[in-house]
Each structure stands twice: as C-alpha cells, then as structure tokens.
C-alpha cells in the first residue's frame, strides 16, 4: 500500500527547529515534501505576494530528516502552499501539516498566524490540513514530548478525514520533559490583545514604533483552547475559513436597505 503524501510547511522558515521536528515526525507516517519560507514570516496571516516576483530554491537542509524533497520560497506561508500545489507536486497530497510554530496560535492569535494561514490555504484547495503550534517562543524549544500526540492526531486525520471546509488548529502546552496530559477538542476562546506602541526616535531623529501589548482573556469557559492549555492539555480547535456570520443574516435583513 502506498504511503500517504504529506506536504509540510510553516511560517518560521525552512531552517526552524519546529519544522525540522515536524518533518521527522511525519516521515514515520508517510512520504514528505517540504515547501517553506526562506526567512521567518510570522504574523503574516493570509498575505500573498502580488506585487513582486517569487523564487523557489531546492534545498538540502538535513537529509537525515527524511523529506523526499525540500524547497524554500521567497514568499509568504500561503504562497508556499500555492506554489507547492501548482508547480512542485505531481499529485495532490493526502495531508498538509504546518508548523510546528514557535509560540501559541490559540484564541485570537489564529487570525494573525502564518502557520494557520498555510494550513487554511491547503484547506481551501480541498486538502485536509492541520496547523501545529507549541506554546514556547524559544528557538531551542523541546518538541519531542509532543511527538506521540502529534502523530496520533495526524494518523486519525488520515484515517477518518477532516470535515470539509474545516482545518484543525492544534496548540501544544509548553512542557520541559513530560508529555502533555492528553488531547481535548475545544472551541476558540474569546480574547484580544491590549496593544500599545513603543514610540522611539532613530539616530537621525525620525520617529518609529515597536508593537507591544498584553494578551487579554475574555472567556472563563472550560471548553476553550486557553483553558485546556492552562491545564496541560493539547487543544484542538476545528477552524473554518467560511467567515460568514450566519446568525446575523436574519437581523441584517430587517434593516431598511431598499426603501
């Protein structure tokens, strides 16, 4: 029986330790091809390149990681998936996995996430897709404790499929050595960023800004991704890319728009 073909991508760049770990984990399940940005693209959301050229280079980062082929792309995470599907793969992959991101993409963070946007781009193309993130921003984060759970989620997705129009957003709690306590299916917690801009002056006298802020959790529910992560569980949120607020259609239809 042929192995499943798994497209691996990310937003932290092709040399990121999280990506290298995900490649190793996936090669134990299927045949792996990698298309990832040639430089960090965190926080790019679903941006695509339309005003400049795109470049792809075949890479040999670490053949021991086990990929069939690896390509770096000059564009965004969404660009990587688009180019991979249209120009590099000779058949449709059975699954696309994105990550493992260095840092959380839970709650409202999913909106800004390049990791999840790469997975969502695959989902738009009808490919089952999962974004993986570890709640540890360190470049030297330890991804090994989550290996078994990541592989379990991937195997279940390959066996049972993912509902059409849905992409899985998987966030993994930071642990030093112990594995996460388990896996919970969750909803996205309501939260926001209380943003501030640190205003500074450059040596030539020009004003510039650094974005800062504090994460503000607005949800006390025990069925959310934030609650699961706080208790040491992996949070799996089924995420859809149809952004229609169906519950609001009836209310808006009561507006006097055509009078």
Q: Which residues are annotated as a binding site?
A: 11-12, 42, 101
Residue for token digits 């490919």?
A: 127
- The CATH architecture assigned to 5-189+221-253 reads 3-Layer(aba) Sandwich (3.40)
Strands 234-240 and 183-185: parallel
Give pLDDT tens digits for 69-121.
Answer: 999 999 999 999 999 999 999 899 999 999 999 999 999 999 999 999 999 99
pLDDT for residue 65: 67
H-helix or E-strand spanning residue 21: helix 17-27
Per the document, the length of the chain is 259
Mean of all residue pLDDT scores within the chain: 93
pLDDT for residue 54: 94
Q: What are 101's two structure tokens?
A: 């991101």
For the segment 171-182, the average pLDDT, to the nearest whole number, is 89
Q: Taking each helix axis from N to C terminus, what angle separates 147-160 and 17-27, rounded to the nearest 10 degrees?
A: 50
User: Residue 231 class from Cβ within 10 Å (0-12 exposed, 13-18 middle, 19+ buried)?
Assistant: middle
The region that residue 133 occupies, defined by phi over 0 for left and psi between -120 and 50 for alpha, beta otherwise, is: beta
The region that residue 57 occupies, defined by phi over 0 for left and psi between -120 and 50 for alpha, beta otherwise, is: beta
CA–CA distance, 187 with 190 (Å, rounded to integer): 9
Q: Residue 128 pLDDT > 90, yes or no?
A: yes
Sheet with 95-102: strands ordered across: 56-59, 69-73, 31-37, 5-9, 95-102, 129-134, 166-172, 234-240, 183-185
Kindly indicate the confidence band of residue 129, based on its pLDDT and cuts at 50, 70 and 90: very high
Q: Which residues are annotated as a binding site for a divalent metal cation?
A: 11-12, 42, 101
For the segment 218-242, the average pLDDT, to the nearest whole number, is 96
pLDDT for residue 73: 96
For the segment 179-186, the average pLDDT, to the nearest whole number, is 95
Kindly indicate the confidence band of residue 214, based on its pLDDT and cuts at 50, 70 and 90: confident
CB-based contacts of 254, cutoff 8 Å, min separation 6: none
CA–CA distance, 110 with 99 (Å, rounded to integer): 13
Q: Residue 178 pLDDT > 90, yes or no?
A: no
pLDDT for residue 215: 87
Q: What are 48's two structure tokens?
A: 């695509």
DSSP character at residue 112: T
pLDDT for residue 44: 84
Look at 21-35, 120-134, 204-218 and tell me which has the smallest mean pLDDT.
Answer: 204-218
Q: Residue 37 pLDDT > 80, yes or no?
A: yes
pLDDT for residue 167: 98
For the segment 233-237, the average pLDDT, to the nearest whole number, is 97
Q: What are 232's two structure tokens?
A: 């040491």
Q: Residue 168 pLDDT > 90, yes or no?
A: yes
């Amino acid at each position: 029986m042929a192995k499943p073909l798994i497209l691996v991508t990310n937003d932290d760049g092709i040399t990121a330790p999280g990506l290298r770990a995900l490649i190793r984990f996936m090669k134990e399940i299927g045949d792996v091809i990698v298309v990832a940005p040639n430089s960090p693209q965190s926080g790019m959301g679903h941006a695509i390149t339309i005003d400049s050229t795109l470049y792809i280079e075949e890479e040999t980062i670490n053949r021991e990681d086990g990929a069939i082929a690896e390509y770096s792309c000059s564009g965004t995470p969404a660009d990587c998936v688009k180019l991979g599907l249209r120009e590099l793969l000779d058949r449709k992959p059975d699954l696309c996995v994105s990550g493992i991101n260095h840092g959380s993409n839970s709650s409202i963070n999913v909106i800004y996430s390049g990791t999840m946007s790469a997975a969502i781009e695959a989902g738009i193309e009808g490919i089952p897709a999962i974004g993986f993130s570890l709640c540890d921003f360190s470049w030297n984060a330890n991804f090994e404790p989550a290996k078994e759970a990541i592989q379990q989620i991937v195997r279940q997705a390959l066996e049972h499929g993912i509902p059409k129009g849905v992409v899985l957003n998987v966030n993994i709690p930071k642990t030093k050595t112990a594995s996460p306590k388990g896996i919970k299916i969750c909803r996205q917690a309501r939260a926001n960023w209380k943003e501030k801009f640190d205003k500074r002056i450059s040596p030539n006298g020009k004003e510039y800004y650094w974005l800062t802020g504090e994460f503000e959790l607005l949800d006390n529910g025990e069925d959310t991704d934030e609650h699961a992560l706080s208790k040491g569980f992996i949070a799996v949120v089924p995420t859809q890319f149809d952004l229609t607020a169906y519950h609001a259609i009836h209310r808006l239809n009561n507006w006097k728009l055509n009078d």
